Amino acid sequence: MFGDLFEEDYSSVSNNNGKGKRLKTNALEPPAPREFTNLSGIRNQGGTCYLNSLLQTLHFTPEFREALFSLGPEELGSLEDKDKPDAKVRIIPLQLQRLFAQLLLLDQEAASTADLTDSFGWTSDEEMRQHDVQELNRILFSALETSLVGTSGHDLINRLYHGTIVNQIVCKECKNVSEKQEDFLDLTVAVKNVSGLEDALWNMYVEEEVFDYDNLYHCGNCDRLVKAAKSAKLRKLPPFLTISLLRFNFDFVKCERYKETSCYTFPLRINLKPFCEQSELDDLEYMYDLFSVIIHKGGCYGGHYHVYIKDVDHLGNWQFQEDKSKPDVNLEDIQNKEEIDDPLMILKAILLQEESNLIPVDQLGQKLLKKIGISWNKKYRKQYGPLRKFLQVHSQIFLLSSDESTVRLLKDSSLQAESDIQRNDQRLFKTLTSESLTLNDRPSCPHWFDINDSRVQPIKEKDIEQQFQGKESAYMLFYRKSQLRRPPEARANPRYKVPHHLLSEMDAANIELQIKRAECDSTNNTVELHLHLGPHYHFFNGALHPVVSQTESMWDLTFDKRKTLGDLRQSIFQLLEFWEGDMVLSVAKFVPAGLHVCQTLNGDDLALCEIEIADGEDIFVWNGVEVGGIQIPTGSDCEPLLLNVLHVATSGEGEECQQLIESPHVFPSNAEIGTVFTALAIPEGVILINNTESRGEENWTTIPKEDLKKTFREQGLRNGSSVLIQGSNDGNSLLTKQGKWINTVNEINWLQVKNLSQLESEEEQVKISATLNTVVFDIRIKAIKELKLLKELAENSCLRPIDRNGKLLCPVPDRCTLKEAGLKMGSSLGLCPGKAPTSSQLFLFFALGSDVHPGTEMEIIVEETISVRDCLKIMLDKCGLTGETWHLRKMDWCFEAGEPLCEEDAKLKELMICSGDTLLLTEGKLPPLGFLTVPIWWYQPQGPLPHWKDHQDQTNCTLSQGSVWKASSTPGAPSDAHAEVSLWYLGDLEISEDATLGELKSQAMTLPSLEFSIPSPAFLRAWTVESKRPGRLLRGHQQQLKEYKLGKRTEICLEPLQKEENLGPWDVLLRTQMRLPGERAYGPPVDVLWDTARGWTASSLRQRVADVYSLPVEKIEIAKYFPDKFAWLPVSSWNQQTTKRKKKKKQDNLQGAPYYLKDGDTIGVKNFLVEDDDDFSTVRDDIGREKQKELALGKRKSREALRVQCSDVSTGETPARARGPEASLSIHVGSFR
């Protein structure tokens, strides 16, 4: 509901998509340090962006912050005593103090408001619900006033934010003044129909409302109705003026809320003198400077808040990303430039500034960046190498910790450094500081920041103008009196006026954070490796196994993953003094068969983290060739699989006995599955695999002989898969005789049988107890008995499953068990007259025509060896039809007529016709084998007629062959050809699949219904017909029809051309239409050939269209038309995106989503020189969309009506999800009076 409201920062959570190894959790990682701005954000708890924006504004109001800090524990109490029953602890101001101290001093990227919202009495639901920041401002101030009653800060809100307005009515007769004074903490000003803040204030406090004529005022002094003037003025101005903008209004016509997004300007400095009652003071008394803008992005029912804030005390580093490479200081003004160029002096000077001369190495790099404005890598790495290496080289000056995470100056070196470079460093840092202040403190460059929850970014003052209007626009304005001056000691000093106990708490917290980050850095940068030593292993049964024990064959090694593979190899050499010869390190992994070598590690200069070595990785140490004299297969392709192989046991005389033996066997993944026979010494047979993953059920599938050359991996076998080997002499009952494969545990153990035998019975249906192993014959006999039907029915009846729609399915053979028949417990069966088909018979449904309605099919039982011709004859006889112009088609899975059964002499079994299939009797004789019957249509898009056409009026012509799918548009109307498709049926062609497309066009030209004189087949363009529209463009006159893979049901339409056409393989044919200026219509279509040899890019297409219409490419806009949706999608020139890892450009491809551009698509063109709106739609599009909405509404009403009808058996309908009522905002405060 709230769009991008939930913007929690999860940057500290890692997502390792590695090799499935054990990963170190980051749940306990300390929060990230502050970024380059040196300011802290506030984490969003789910819906608290409005709270974060207001808290940051109060935090950057120094007078408010310091007034709150001035209240000590003796007045507010202590948080440690908050749970004591008799203690009066003012929790809200205490938590606000603590939050401000964290924002000032705690070195973390974002602070948490969880403790503060807990003090408000908010639940997790409240923290996930968004509220209005203007409402929060008033409620928070009220809560603070209540919390501070009886303290020296009882008037804090009143002192800083309270102002008064006086409303006056002046009688025109006696000049009597009637006035009423109002207090305010914030001014609410109108936005609608107002150009800006000053205009709104003028209407409120300068303009007068006159009472006259029918609207007179009753003057108490005159005691009669008189003319009068009403006005309002600001009587008392507060030091801080809060202005709330009325962005949200209610439309009484539409009865809905809306957000006012029109342009509303506000000045950076405003003179309130014209709006005040007393104006005799100096202008400076009325001057106010803008210092905070709370911005709302979204609509009236939700959105997101962030805030633009002016850093009055210059606490942050106001430096832009693009200026990072520029130093904060002017190095030319430093007398000794060598001092900056010498990293030794800079680093020693930075360390001398630290109290303990100890600092994490990462923070040392950050402080270097802040001081000189450029990172170590950019300025010094090329000459001096990495920072840690530089510190190691100068070990006589710097002392690195054992894990190289922290650094400090040696004592002797620090004393010498202080004496040697004190003078230089003082001058250097004096210059650095003075220059930084000069750049940061210029009055012309105020420090503004965009604080968006956790993110803090510097902005320029001119960026505020972007928030004048739009869906993301200013919502609250905060001004401070220009005469308010900050003391010099507060500048760039976050510790100023912070209470001592909070300073101590924050210092301790920072030390703890540094320790945790150092520990976390050490933990995150070390990996535990399991070294498997090659001489302690031997290779058998497809995998590596320890010679003695796993404990003696594996060594654990903890190693810094920032070090290189060469360092790891050297460390292992030092550990293994006995090693001789080459050492190869390979990544291995344990599989059920044993240890398998996956990948050899290369690149000694690469760090372990760069080659993605995970924690807990198994490393095999060997010579890279053999182990124990056996060459080792490596790689994921030959990973060993441990399979459970089942086969028939052999007796002592060499004969097979009916007993299965299950034994484990190991095979390489890339071995052919037929090698199972070799491993078991079985000459030939059948292999079955179990495809069911769920426990308790098994589904055995036979592997065809042609698939025996496929590998185990291609067959989808995994570790633990079962393979059954049946010899050529094994019986078919091998599986069913094994009790281990039969699942006898079922929650439902009955079937429901309905009486459909046309004989009367006492009950219509009965429940028959059964298991999956019950034979169907037994169930049928039980049903006949319980239904009390005639015993003769047992000889001439069958059971047929009933689907969810009530349709009777194919009869179930009596000899099958329920499991073999695929019946589930609880199913419904019908007891029907007639015998079930035997194992050599087929039960088929058939129907007449292609429009088949459920339940109208006829049924027939035939032998599976019957031919298609004989089956057709039997069906025609049953329907009472005769003739030779019929053929059979098989119904496909979409319940539509599929491919015809062309081979009339073929047996049904050979054509894979199964019991339960539906065949369709279709009128029309099939073409001979190798021939196609192709319906031909005539396609005439709108536009200029070819010069070779007859002069007769063809606008709405109907060819003699008959049917028209769509009529063309009305003559004289503005062209809307993108929506009109006219196809006239010409007739059918019987043509060989070996014929060319040119020959098909030539034969189509001879059809009697074609009344045109066409010069040659090259003047015709051929399309397939899809959904009654031109679909795929058929290219190449000499290409054979079978190469197009048209299929038996393909229809083709022919389009006339004005000139010959020969499309290349990279040419795409598009139909462009120019938008008519001032009309919601298009001109006639123009065919455009677009060469896509250099890519399907938007810029290439725009350039091609611009060339066709002789327009500048920047002055056109194009869009693709989707006729099924009546929608246009503008084709934008996307920017090429570059991935960080591979540095490859990702090209925009119009063949893919969302355009799916292809031949024949309509492209609308808009000329911005004459029309500048972005609407591509036409009146017909509006009508089409409305019809689609009506159709969807009708379907929805039908579903709702059906749901109401079924409400007596269903659990009830699910109503549409309505917007929940708006919850009021409140802050719970204790009583301190």
8 Å CB contact between 422 and 415: no
pLDDT for 814-823, tens place per residue? 888 888 888 8
Range 349-365 average pLDDT: 79
User: Taking residues 1071-1075, what's their average pLDDT?
Assistant: 91
Instruction: Characterize the bridge pairing of strands 240-246 and 187-190.
Output: parallel
Q: What is the mean pLDDT of residues 1080-1091?
A: 89
Residue 28's pLDDT band (cuts 50, 70, 90)? low
Res 252: pLDDT: 83
> What predicted TM-score, i.e. pTM, was given to this entire model?
0.47
Question: Which band of pLDDT confidence, cut at 50, 70 and 90, is reported for residue 2?
Answer: very low
Q: What is the mean pLDDT of residues 1110-1128?
A: 89
Amino acid at 868: V
Q: Over 90: is that where the pLDDT of 1174 sits?
A: no
For residues 774-787, give the mean pLDDT: 87
Does 785 have pLDDT greater than 90?
no
Mean pLDDT within 996-1003: 90
Give me the mean pLDDT over the 891-913 stretch. Answer: 79
Average pLDDT over residues 839-859: 80
Higher pLDDT, 295 or 420: 295
- pLDDT-derived band at 801 (thresholds 50, 70, 90) equals very high
What pLDDT is recorded for position 5? 35
Determine the pLDDT at residue 904.
81
Query: What is the pLDDT at residue 971?
Result: 31
Per-residue tokens: 198: 């000053």
Which of 648 and 226 is assigned the larger pLDDT? 226
- Active-site option among 49, 219, 276, 798: 49
pLDDT at 405: 77
What is the tens place of the pLDDT at every residue in 1125-1152?
889 999 875 444 433 343 444 456 888 8
Which residue would you say has higher pLDDT here, 855 or 432? 855
Q: Does the pLDDT at position 525 exceed 90?
A: no
Angle formed at CA 529 by CA 528 and CA 530, multiple of 5 degrees: 125
* Average pLDDT over every residue of 826-839: 88
Is the confidence at residue 950, as pLDDT, over 70? no
Higher pLDDT, 122 or 292: 292
Largest separation between any pair of C-alpha atoms in the chain: 136
CB-count exposure of residue 709 (10 Å: 0-12, 13-18, 19+): exposed
Q: What is the pLDDT of residue 977?
A: 44
- Residue linked to tokens 């091609």: 1104
Q: What are phi and psi of 165, to 5 degrees?
A: -120, 140
Q: Is the pLDDT of residue 270 over 90?
A: yes
Q: How confident is the model at residue 965 (pLDDT cuts 50, 70, 90)?
A: low
Res. 952 pLDDT band, cuts 50 70 90:
very low
Distance of alpha carbon 899 from its chain centroid, rounded?
40
pLDDT at residue 14, rounded to an integer: 33
- The predicted pLDDT at position 1148 comes to 65
Cβ-Cβ contacts under 8 Å for 498 (sequence gap 6 or more): 69, 101, 104, 105, 506
Query: Whats the size of the chain, residue-wise?
Result: 1233
pLDDT at 347: 86
| 11 pLDDT above the threshold of 60 | no
State residue 1063's pLDDT score.
82
* 1197-1223 tens-digit pLDDT: 877 776 666 554 334 444 444 454 555
Q: Is 609 a catalytic residue?
A: no
- Given a cut of 90, whether residue 268 has pLDDT beyond it is yes
- What is the pLDDT at residue 771? 82
At residue 699, the pLDDT reads 65
Q: Please determine, for residue 718, whether its predicted confidence score (pLDDT) is greater than 90.
A: no
Helices 62-69 and 49-59 cross at an angle (nearest 10°) of 80
Mean pLDDT of the chain: 80
Catalytic residue among 131, 304, 596, 887: 304
- Residue 1011 predicted with pLDDT over 50: yes
Closest CA to 437 of 319, 310, 314: 314
Position 127 scores a pLDDT of: 63
Give Cβ neighbours of residue 569 (< 8 Å, ≥ 6 apart). Answer: 583, 585, 604
Highest mean pLDDT out of 893-897, 925-929, 1105-1109: 1105-1109
Q: Span 1118-1124, mean pLDDT? A: 90
Mean pLDDT of 605-626: 88
What is the chain's Cα-based Rg? 43
| pLDDT, position 728 | 60
Calpha distance 878→1078 (Å, rounded): 65
pLDDT at 436: 40
Give the pLDDT band of residue 713 (cuts 50, 70, 90). Answer: confident
pLDDT at 422 over 50: no
Q: Is 314 noted as a catalytic residue in this protein?
A: no
pLDDT of residue 419: 47
- Predicted confidence at residue 748, as pLDDT, reads 59
User: What is the predicted pLDDT for the residue at 695?
Assistant: 43
Asked if pLDDT for residue 260 goes beyond 70, the answer is yes
Higher pLDDT, 1076 or 279: 1076
- In this prediction, residue 677 has a pLDDT band, given cuts at 50, 70 and 90, of confident
pLDDT bucket at 301, cuts 50 / 70 / 90: confident
pLDDT band at 698 (very low <50, low <70, confident <90, very high): low
Residue 254 has pLDDT above 90, yes or no: no
Residue 1033 backbone phi and psi in degrees, to 5 = -80, 130
Average pLDDT over residues 255-284: 89
* Residue 411 clears pLDDT 80, i.e. is over it: no
Helical H runs in 787-929?
Answer: 818-821, 868-879
Virtual torsion, Cα 564, 570, 575, 578, nearest 10 deg:
140
Winning range, highest mean pLDDT, from 64-78, 651-665, 762-776, 1147-1161: 64-78
Tokens of residue 1061, six digits: 């056409």
